[in-house]
């Protein structure tokens, strides 16, 4: 049986999407996670090459699918997964640029909440500002999983920007001064969407470069070497599956 989403961005045939979905921005990272971490992965989506797979992890069904770059792309896929395919929770697994002095390249950051320069949240109609925040239960499981692996993670604020090439560099300085650990492009959009859909979300990030030190990972490393982040995310997803 084939099921196609309202925007035709997802077309599922002869497969299922699990209740919990891991979402890297890069669809090739989704393929890497499926092939290296899931048992018996089956590809459920190839539309626009936004690859999606479902397999099992420690006996529980988990899916992984790309989200694309930026809040609008994340918003489309997350909304459709939540509202049209019965997904209960999404965990963003992605890269971020380090801002804080004590954040280093390859560090794992868990986004408790996300500030943003995007107007996306205003569309939900709350007078004032709709705060994009993680689901606490998922956050708690992620921190506990990291501790069990003896992995020191950093938990706190991240800054979600609509710009990759921000026209005024002072924005990063201000975000750093206000305690943001890192800057990225999707977490706030995922958190807003989860709130509106009455679902769960969490963002777990690996620092791929640092805005102030100039350190950076290669494109290949960004795709294939984020093992610690992936393992924390998989353990968190496993706890979310009933």
Beta partners for 152? none
Structure tokens at 164: 């990759």
Q: Indicate the length of the chain as a whole number.
A: 242
Cβ–Cβ under 8 Å, residues 91 and 138: yes
192/187 Cα distance (integer angstroms): 9
Structure tokens at 97: 């640029």
27-37 vs 227-240: helix axis angle to the nearest 10?
70
Any idea what DSSP says for residue 152? -
Among residues 26, 88, 102, 209, the one annotated as catalytic is 209
Pairing status of strand 60-65 against strand 20-23: parallel
Is 135 catalytic? The answer is no
136/35 Cα distance (integer angstroms): 29
Any idea which residues carry the catalytic annotation?
209
């Amino acid at each position: 049986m084939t099921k196609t989403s309202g925007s035709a961005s997802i077309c599922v045939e002869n497969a299922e999407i699990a209740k919990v979905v891991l979402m890297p921005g890069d669809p090739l990272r989704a393929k890497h996670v499926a092939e290296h971490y899931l048992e018996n992965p089956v590809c459920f989506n190839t539309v626009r090459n936004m690859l999606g797979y479902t397999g099992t992890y420690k006996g529980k069904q988990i899916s992984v699918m790309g989200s694309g770059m930026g809040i609008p792309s994340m918003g489309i896929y997350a909304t459709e997964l939540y509202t049209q395919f019965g997904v209960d929770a999404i965990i963003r697994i992605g890269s971020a640029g380090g801002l804080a002095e004590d954040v280093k390249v390859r560090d794992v950051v868990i986004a408790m909440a996300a500030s943003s320069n995007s107007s996306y949240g205003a569309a939900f109609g709350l007078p004032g500002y709709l705060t994009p925040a993680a689901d606490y239960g998922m956050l708690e499981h992620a921190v506990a999983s990291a501790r069990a692996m003896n992995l020191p993670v950093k938990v706190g604020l991240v800054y979600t920007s609509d710009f990759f090439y921000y026209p005024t560099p002072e924005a990063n300085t201000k975000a750093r001064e206000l305690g943001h650990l890192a800057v990225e492009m999707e977490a706030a959009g995922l958190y807003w969407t989860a709130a509106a859909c009455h679902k769960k979300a969490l963002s777990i990030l690996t620092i791929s470069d640092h805005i102030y030190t100039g350190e950076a990972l290669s494109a290949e490393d960004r795709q294939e070497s984020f093992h610690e982040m992936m393992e924390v995310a998989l353990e968190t997803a496993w706890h979310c599956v009933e």
